[in-house]
Amino acid sequence: MASEQATMLRINLDHSSPVPLYYQMAKAIEKDIETGALAPGERLENEIALAGRLRVSRPTARRALQELVDLGMLVRKRGVGTQVAPARVHRRVELTSLFDDLAGSGRKPATTVLEYSVGPCAPEVSDTLEIPQGEEVVTVKRLRYADGEPLALMVNHLALEIAPTREELTDLGLYAALRAHGIEIHMAQQQIGARLATAAEARILDEKPKAALLTMERKAFDVDGRAIEHGVHIYRASRYNFSTTLFAQ
């Protein structure tokens, strides 16, 4: 929860340096956020007070704060001011579910199932899940939250006979629900990309129109090589990123 008292930023500027003052300010605030000196939800002094105290122009102070707003590290709220944004979710590129990753990192995951429908599979879903055309599949559309804030919009297709119930997917992540039915995910093919949000997606995810989104498409298989699920997910780039470790050969 944001503090009622605005935090005065402790920033030491070198006015003789060739490094622009706004950049010095932005990097100092960024460091405090990354080290935890500034906590998520903490309210900062406004740009007028910041400019006066650091002896810089108001446009310089405004640009420094805007740099961090653009990076998703600060947020501006009408009637509240500038606050430190909620912590970003850093997720390794591994065969895990978002629900499990959030819970394992100390975040509080929650899910709203926006759609749970059963019907004949479309040709592209039939090809992906390697099942006959017209066979019934379950399509699930879920909105995933982290600490009460919308984070990801996920659409998954599963064969009817193995699909968890709507109630199970409200309480559990998809892979945990599948494990409860004796189905273990062994391998997946995954593609990661990026695009801009549509108006509807931005509204659901509480983002600005045309905000940057990370995308992930995954096809998962069990130990016998059977296609289990096909997922198309989008994530708020301001709150989420993927990470991986690379090795030289």
pLDDT in tens, 224-237: 889 999 999 999 98
How far lies 62's CA from each of 51, 90, 101, 107, in Å?
8, 28, 36, 31
Query: How do the pLDDT tens digits run along the chain, 249 residues long?
Result: 444 688 888 899 998 999 999 999 999 998 888 888 888 888 999 889 999 999 999 999 999 998 888 777 888 887 788 988 876 665 554 566 778 777 777 778 899 999 999 999 888 899 889 899 889 999 999 999 988 899 999 999 999 999 999 999 999 999 999 999 999 988 888 899 999 999 999 999 999 889 999 999 999 998 888 999 999 999 998 887 766 555 555
**What pLDDT is attached to residue 2?**
41
**What pLDDT is attached to residue 1?**
40
- Where do the domains of the chain lie, and which CATH numbers do they carry? 21-84 (1.10.10.10), 89-243 (3.40.1410.10)
Q: At what angle do helices 58-70 and 47-54 cross, to 10 degrees?
A: 120
**What pLDDT is attached to residue 76?**
84
**What pLDDT is attached to residue 89?**
61
- Answer yes or no: are the C-beta atoms of 236 and 152 closer than 8 Å: yes
**What pLDDT is attached to residue 246?**
54
pTM to 2 decimal places:
0.65
Classified as helix, coil or strand, 175 is helix
The tens digit of pLDDT for each residue in 117-129 reads 999 988 889 988 9
